[in-house]
Amino acid sequence: MIEIHGYAIVSDDDRIADAEGRMPEALRSEADWAYFQAELDRSAATVLGRLGHEAHPNPRGRLRIVVSSSVPGLERRADGWWWNPEAKPWEDAVRTILPAGGRIAVPGGRRVFDLFLAIGYTAFHLTRAEGVRIPGGVALFSACDRGASAEAVLGGAGLVPGERQILDPRGPVTLNIWSRA
Ligand SMILES: NC(=O)c1ccc[n+]([C@@H]2O[C@H](COP(=O)([O-])OP(=O)(O)OC[C@H]3O[C@@H](n4cnc5c(N)ncnc54)[C@H](OP(=O)(O)O)[C@@H]3O)[C@@H](O)[C@H]2O)c1
């Protein structure tokens, strides 16, 4: 049994990074980081894009699945499993990586969020830095660039929102966990 949990912190206009593809200070939240780290501790593996993998060291040695077009399928390397979704279906890859099942954390970026939208999230942990706008920034999902809100995309994927939780009253920074009905 595999559970897939997405994690993102977004602005009011559903952006995960600025126009240059960098994460702006306005999207950094200690409370969200602490929440995210605790969630990673509950996960059997983390799936992230190659750039995110290269940008973020892995001091705790958590099991990573690195999405990249540079590998022919699925490849075990010292720094984790490298996976090319064009070359090997998710079901095959995850059966090899976690034969006993488990919880998967998906922290993006955008193409990885899109990829798992099609595969199917069990839940999506949507943190919002309220009051922040990042015009021209990188969207959470590519559909957000075509005018859809994050909520509409998650709802369209069969997820329903939970209660709005306040992670940090400054801002505020809020969390809503969308899950299967
Ligand atoms: N606010 C948030 O919650 C949040 C979350 C995630 C990221 N970010 C920020 O967003 C910014 C941009 O991240 P990013 O999207 O550029 O980087 P990324 O997703 O970490 O990495 C992109 C790379 O991942 C690989 N990849 C992704 N999807 C793939 C697919 N379907 N098939 C094959 N390869 C795939 C490609 O690698 P190859 O080139 O090797 O093929 C691609 O170049 C960063 O500043 C990051 O900090 C913010």
Domain limits of the chain?
A: 2-180
Query: Cα–Cα distance between 95 and 160 in angstroms, integer?
Result: 28
Atom of ligand 1 lying closest to residue 69 CA: 41
pTM: 0.97
Tell me the best of 51, 54, 66, 84 to mutate to test the pocket of ligand 1, counting ligand atoms within 8 Å of each CB and taking the most: 51
Fold held by 2-180: Dihydrofolate Reductase, subunit A (3.40.430)
If you measure from the C-alpha of residue 111 to the centroid of ligand 1, how many angstroms do you get, rounded to a whole number? 6
40-54 burial code (b ≥16 CB/10 A, e <16): beebbbbbbbbebbe
Shortest-distance atom of ligand 1 to CA 114? 31
Angle (CA) 122 127 128, round 5°: 140
Q: What is the pLDDT along the chain (181 residues), one digit of tens a residue?
A: 999 999 999 999 999 999 999 999 999 999 999 999 999 999 999 999 999 999 999 999 999 999 999 999 999 999 999 999 999 999 999 999 999 999 999 999 999 999 999 999 999 999 999 999 999 999 999 999 999 999 999 999 999 999 999 999 999 999 999 999 8
Which residue's CA lies nearest to atom 48 of ligand 1? 16
pLDDT of residue 181: 81
